[in-house]
Each structure stands twice: as C-alpha cells, then as structure tokens.
Amino acid sequence: MEMKGQTVQSMTLHLMENREAYGYTTWGCMWEKGAVLKDASFNVYAKDSTKNKIVPSQSRITAYWPDGSVKWTAHTADSKNGEIFEVIPVNEYVSSKKDMESSLFVKEEEDAYIVDAGCVHAVVPKSKNVILRDVTVDGCVQVTDADLVLQLEERSVKDGVLIQKTVPYTGEIESVSIEEQGPVRVTFCLRGTHVSHANDRRVLPFVIRETIYLNSTKIDFEHTFLFDGDEKKDFLKGLGVRFHRPMKGEMYNRHIRFGTDHGSFHEEMVELLSWRPRVAPEIYDTQTKGQMLYLDADNDQAAATAIEASKHMPIWSRYVLCQDSATHFSIKKKIVNPDCCYIEGLHGMRAPGSVNIADESGSFSLSSKDFWQKYPSAVEAGDLDQDNAEVIFWLWCPQVEAMDFRHYADQAILRPIMRASM
C-alpha cells in the first residue's frame, strides 16, 4: 500500500514472477480505518513508464470498519491493459469515470436475460432445463445450449444377485437472479433441482453462477450442489455440465485436443494415414498439425486419393479423458456404433482439465480449475461426427465407482489410545 499525501491511499497490483497477463482478474484491496468513505467509488489505472491511464474496471465493497469506513474491496479488470494496476479511491464524483463506460448490456425479457458483452452475445433462460443458450462470438455460434446432467445409482439385491440401476436426471431451473452487474462483467445466479423424467422425482438442489465479461470469449461457471437424498439408497454415479456446439465441415477437418501433463493429446475424427490407397505424406503432415485441409478432388490426384481413403477409415466420434486418481488419467475413444468397445489412447499422471474441439468454422475450448485435484473427474466429448456435438465436464465421472454417502460404521468409534514402548 502506498500513501498519497496524508488523506488519500492507493493500492498497487503487479504481475507475479514467471506469470503472463491473460484475461480478466479479480483481486482484493484492504484500506486503513477511516481512509475511505462508505460511499466512495474507485478508479483503476494502468501504470507504465510514461503516464497512467484509467482502464475499464468494476469494484464492490466487501467489508466495513466499525466506524462505517471501507475496510475491504474487490476489483475486476482485464489484465491485458497493463502489468501494473493502481487502485485509487475517489471520495467524490470524478468526471473521468465517464471515459470508461462500457458496452456490456443486459436486457430482461419475460423468459430470459439477453446479454450483449461486445464480441460475445448470450441468453440466460429463466426456467426449464437450459442454463445457457445461443452463445455467439463475433457472430459465430459457439454454444447452442448448456444443461446439467446427473446420474444416481440405485442398488437392490434379489435372490442373492446385486442389481445396479443408473437413473438419469436433468437440472431444472426454478429461479434466476443477477448477483452483480457492472461495466465489465455480469454474474447470474441460477437455482434449481435435478428432476428424473422417469418418475418425476426431484433431488439434489443446485446453485449455478455464470459470469460473462466485456469483450472476452471466456465465460465462468461455478457449480454447487446440495445432497438431500437418501444416503442408503442414492449413490452418486455422475454429475456434470453439458455443452452443445454445432459442427461443420468434413470429418478429416474435425479435431480434438486434450491438455496433458506433458503437452497435449491431439487427434482427428478421421486420420488420413493409409497405405492402400496411399495418402500423400504432406497431406497427413498438414492434418496432424491441426491445420484445415482444402482438398480439390477434381484438380488434384493426391487430394482425390485422400478423400477416397477417408471414406474407409474409422470415424472416432467419442473421447473420454478420465482422472481417476491423483496420479493417473486415461484417454479412450470409440466409434459411434454402441456395440463397439472403447480403445485406449493415452495414460498419464495429472491432466490440467482442458479440451478443445475444432472444425472448419473455428474452435471451442473448455477447462476446469483444479481438475486433477478434484478427482474422480472427466471430460467427455461425443457426437463429434454429427451436426451438433456435446462436451460434458464431469465433476464426478461415471467411469468410476459411485460416490457412497453412507457412514463407514453403524456405531460410535472411541478414539484409540496410542502407546509407545522402548
């Protein structure tokens, strides 16, 4: 903290060592007792060697001193605007605030909120089972809709045979509110319950927070669920968020990439590696680099051969990365036929929890914070050969044993007394 004169304070934020500035960041500031009035506003400046400039930011007060002055504040700004930020409280209106008015608008309609955040447009429904829809970036549709998925495992024993049944549920929204709205971001809070369409049972209430930023292609999600089921009957088999994205173009131009502990795992839906007919090496090399192929079969014999070879290659339509422990993850894949098995693609230790799917219209990325630390978790991408693909981030993945909420004992356990002898 730096003192400016006797009555005005400022807080300076700098980039940590070996870090790169990327995207929006939120940080907190503390203020001395009596220094900042309770109705103060805040300006954020980007400092450089020549001058300071005010940057678009959003501030809120999070705590007060007993005398009513400000104790803690939270601020949000885009780190691309500078490596050093300075927060200065303003105890009276300053006309320079008008220079940072943004173009983030939220329009409330009867059944949804319409968000215009510059390069990003999105719709947040107020009801039903869709938590986000019609997300476009620079006019290109990236997400058609997103919803919540839940699987509960029900167990029973009949004639000495253990029967395990997995019942699917979907999240149904009951209320939507705006928790925070300002010049650079808006946060929606969605509350609801998972519902089974098989028996109309309602279980496991959830709270979803969605944050959309000004002129940023990143949308943040925070997922919370409350267990209100029967711990003796309800076993959590799967819990996640599912996104749907339109896919366009040829199968050999559709790619998937997972982040791994040593780089990334990258494959194509149709791999142009064939000996009969033999595909030109330069075409295969271009494909493995993740570049789009523009094959003209009428004027290029090599292109015609590659197109013919693609018709006889398997189409990998589903991939699953599963982090099943703190020290192991696996990637497997399969074709669309439900009667065919998965084949393994890669094993590793700790996946960062990121996936990117790409086609001829662009690419779409998802990532999860603390992915391997929150095992068992998974990323599943399916229907990659269809017009509308799905990506599911499993917070508890179905590939492992269901979560058991029962207590480990049926009686109180006395703490053992440890004795040491020489």
Average pLDDT of the residues in 132-140: 90
- The answer to whether the CB of 330 falls within 8 A of the CB of 341 is no
Question: What one-letter code names the amino acid at 25?
Answer: T
Average pLDDT of the residues in 230-254: 92
The candidate with the shortest Cα–Cα distance to 230, out of 172, 171, 154, is 154
333-356 burial string, b = 16+ CB within 10 Å, else e? bbbeeeeeeeeebbebebbbbbbb
Give me 158's structure tokens: 């009949």
pLDDT at 103: 73
Interacting residues of 400 by C-beta distance below 8 A, sequence separation 6+: 322, 324, 376
| E-strand stretches of 279-417 | 318-325, 328-334, 343-348, 354-359, 362-367, 377-382, 388-396
Band (39; pLDDT cuts 50, 70, 90): confident
In Å, the largest CA–CA distance within the chain is: 88
pLDDT at 254: 92
Cα-only R_g, the chain: 26
Q: How far apart are CA 76 and CA 60, in angstroms?
A: 9
Q: How far apart are CA 316 and CA 334, in angstroms?
A: 6
pLDDT at 8: 57
pLDDT at 421: 59
Secondary structure (3-state) at 261:
coil
pLDDT at 321 over 50: yes
Q: How far apart are CA 294 and CA 382, in angstroms?
A: 25
pLDDT at 348 over 90: yes
Output the average pLDDT for the chain.
86
- Structure pTM? 0.85
pLDDT at 4 over 60: no
Q: Any idea which of 95-99, 263-267, 288-292, 386-390 has the lowest mean pLDDT?
A: 95-99
Average pLDDT of the residues in 244-265: 92
pLDDT at 193 over 90: yes
The candidate with the shortest Cα–Cα distance to 261, out of 343, 350, 328, is 350
Backbone angles phi and psi of 356, in degrees to 5: -135, 130
The candidate with the shortest Cα–Cα distance to 14, out of 62, 100, 79, 75, is 79
Q: What angle do CA 382, 384, 385 make, to 5 degrees?
A: 130
Secondary structure (3-state) at 189:
strand
Residue that wins the pLDDT comparison between 395 and 91: 395
- The answer to whether the CB of 178 falls within 8 A of the CB of 161 is no
Backbone angles phi and psi of 50, in degrees to 5: -105, -45
DSSP class of residue 293 equals -
Interacting residues of 50 by C-beta distance below 8 A, sequence separation 6+: none
pLDDT at 147 over 90: yes
Q: Strand 52-54 and strand 120-125: pairing?
A: unpaired
pLDDT at 250 over 50: yes
Question: What one-letter code names the amino acid at 253?
Answer: N
pLDDT at 417 over 70: no
Give me 126's structure tokens: 């107020």
- The answer to whether the CB of 331 falls within 8 A of the CB of 238 is no
Question: What one-letter code names the amino acid at 406?
Answer: R
Q: How far apart are CA 391 and CA 365, in angstroms?
A: 10
Give me 117's structure tokens: 């955040």
The candidate with the shortest Cα–Cα distance to 347, out of 323, 366, 372, 379, is 323
pLDDT at 41 over 90: no
pLDDT at 83: 76
Rounded to the nearest 10 degrees, the angle between the axes of helix 281-288 and helix 301-310 is 60
371-386 burial string, b = 16+ CB within 10 Å, else e? bbeebbbbbbbbbbbe
Residues pairing with 188 in the sheet? 178, 210
pLDDT at 98: 45
